[in-house]
Amino acid sequence: MVVALQRGLTLREFLALPEEEPPLEYVDGVITQKVSPKGPHTLRTAMFTTRVNVYAVPRKLALAFPEQRTTFGGRSYVPDVSVYSWERIPWTGPADVEDDFPLPPDVAVEIISPGQSWRKLSGQCQWFVENGVGMALLIDPRRRRVRLFLPGQAARDLALTDHIDLGDVIPGFSLVVSDLYTLLDPA
């Protein structure tokens, strides 16, 4: 469950606050704290981030960041995974980046943890694509489902056999939805 902590601060005042764990987010003057991630959530975050980075980083195509603060469109979120194309990463020097990212990610991924609402996170993913994010994914590890959000299109659920294609951001990269659930199958 996300808890509303404070109302009435400006975005600038919010960004001046010290970071907390789990992270705080700012939406329309309301500050909320994200839910502490559980095992299935953390596993999918690690798997998605690793798969993207193993493919994209050596080619200097993109970089996936877990839990990276992004501030755009008057809001400040911490998506579970943010993917930025290489040329859009806010580099501050060799091998270093800004603390907070002032541009929307090319891809934003939210992964549901117990106590989080599918409906609320669907709304957040929809807001992402309406405000500059090229693609948003909502992953539900317990129900083994993924919903895809694209600008100007209705959200759609992906089947386990569907590919998550990040071709516009990472040419040649594709991940089968079922891989999010079977790559680490202990059987």
The one-letter amino acid code at 178 reads S
DSSP string, 61-127: SEEEEET--EEETTEEE--SEEEEEGGGS-EEETTEE-SSB-S--SEEEEE--TT--HHHHHHHHHH
36-182: CATH superfamily: tt1808, chain A (3.90.1570.10)
pLDDT in tens, 104-147: 999 999 999 888 899 999 999 999 999 999 999 999 988 889 99
Domain residue spans in the chain?
36-182
Tokens of 55: 């493919």
ω into 22 cis (within 30 of 0): yes
Which pTM was predicted?
0.92
pLDDT band for 44, please (50, 70, 90 cuts). confident
pLDDT band for 168, please (50, 70, 90 cuts). confident
Q: Which 3 state secondary structure label does DSSP give 50?
A: helix
The residue with greater pLDDT, 110 or 1, is 110
Q: How far apart are CA 139 and CA 177, in angstroms?
A: 10
Q: Classify each residue of 49-68 as buried b or exposed e, where b means 16 or more C-beta atoms within 10 Å of its C-beta.
A: bebbbebbeeeebbbbbbbb
Taking all residues of the chain, what is their mean pLDDT, rounded to a whole number?
Answer: 91
The residue with greater pLDDT, 177 or 4, is 177
**pLDDT score, position 6:** 60
